[in-house]
Structure 1
Amino acid sequence: MKPQQQSATMSGERAKTLNELEAQFTAISARAQTLVGSGGKELCMKPPSPGSWSVTECLQHLNISADSYFPIWQQVIANAAPRKSEMNAPYQADFWGRLLSWILEPPARIRKKTVLHLEPTERGEIEVVLDEFVERQERIIGTLRRCRGRAIDQVKIASPVDSRIRYSIWSSFLVNAAHERRHLWQAEQALQKLRNGK
């Protein structure tokens, strides 16, 4: 891994290439597995305070969020035009991609209530939820690989969270990576509070 790629992976810096973005989702998957492994079943299933999400619920939310993007990506990526730039040349984030990824990177800069259809609805077993999370990261990476050679920064999609927001396919991946890091950070904070008895 090149130094600049490693920096983007570890710091949450906005990715500029498909390789960097793929490395970020790989790192996110590993981070979630480390988190659950260190917390154990009992702590991961327990919310740190009334009304707060447990580690399990944070991961469930991310699974639901990812599922809202897969049908969109499947439909639009296949229709994206061939890219005129070099295969792994930097992509450009648009306005919404830059703004939302900045807002979502932890620690949270702006807190907003999660829309109802993306809230975790049931408390599943942490082992199952983690397996589902890792599987979704693999699907995201597979989707990224289908983007190679395509002008995904030139094709707009409507956000499944708020249809008034339209950003490029490329920006949608940036937003997803930042969103996942935000809720993994939230899960880590929840685990720390439980360990400290707060």
Structure 2
Amino acid sequence: MKISTSQLLDELKILTQQHIRCAENLLQETEEKLNFRASENSWSALECLEHLNRYGDFYIPEITLSISSSKTSPKYTFKPGILGNYFTKMMLPKEKLNKMKTVKSMNPIHSQLNKNTVNVFIKQQHQFLELLEKARKADLEKVKTGISISKLLKLRLGDTLRFVIYHNERHIKQAETVLTNF
């Protein structure tokens, strides 16, 4: 798969803007509803967002550093790496979400959360929009970023952006599903 760099970044920008709108809609709900959990071991809508905030806390500085230290010029097209494409495809939401284990530090279950969690998420999404604009001036294949599960592995910037934003999409859909079961 090869895609135009600007097309990829535009698609990721649209998804991120949708995530902001979904989060803004969540602010209209009660905290009781946002903290509702379908079962003892499932996440509430706020826990879904808190999970994403924790990943944002890692990836925003990581991506910022990678872009700011880049000395490469942008390329017209982006070709995903094998590992990056694999991780990204795993994150894409499916009709019936396949359950995945998360690392303990990223698992927010039973956290005491309020609407500030939503505000943090919205703020982070605006930061991602800024990073997507800055990424237009970088080579999405040559610039590498670390990943949250291992300091040894590096992914192409384009793959990291895809992974993070598709991961957001996955958990936004999960949060919406939880709310429909309230």
**TM-score by structure 1 length?**
0.79
Alpha-carbon distance in 1 for matches of 2:98, 2:47: 20
**How far has the Cα of 1:17 moved from its partner?**
2.6
Moved more, 172-181 or 93-102: 93-102
Alpha-carbon displacement from aligned partner over 1:115-168 (angstroms, at most 9, x marks no partner): 01112273221x211111100000111122222221132122221123454311
Gaps of 5+ in 1: 1-14
**How far has the Cα of 1:187 moved from its partner?**
0.9
- Structure 2 equivalent of residue 184 of structure 1: 172
Pairing of 1:14-163 with structure 2 (within 5 A):
16-37=7-28, 39-83=29-73, 85=75, 89-107=76-94, 110-120=98-108, 122-125=111-114, 127-163=115-151
Alpha carbons 1:62, 1:183 under 8 Å: kept = yes
Give the SS at the match of 2:57: helix
Which of 159, 162, 165 lines up with 1:171 in the alignment? 159
Gaps of 5+ in 2: 1-5
Alpha-carbon distance in 1 for matches of 2:87, 2:179: 26
**TM-score by structure 2 length?**
0.85
What is the root-mean-square deviation in Å for CA atoms of aligned residues?
A: 2.1
Moved more, 92-101 or 174-183: 92-101
Sequence identity percentage = 22
- The 1:150–1:105 alpha-carbon spacing in structure 2 relative to 1, beyond 3 Å, is same
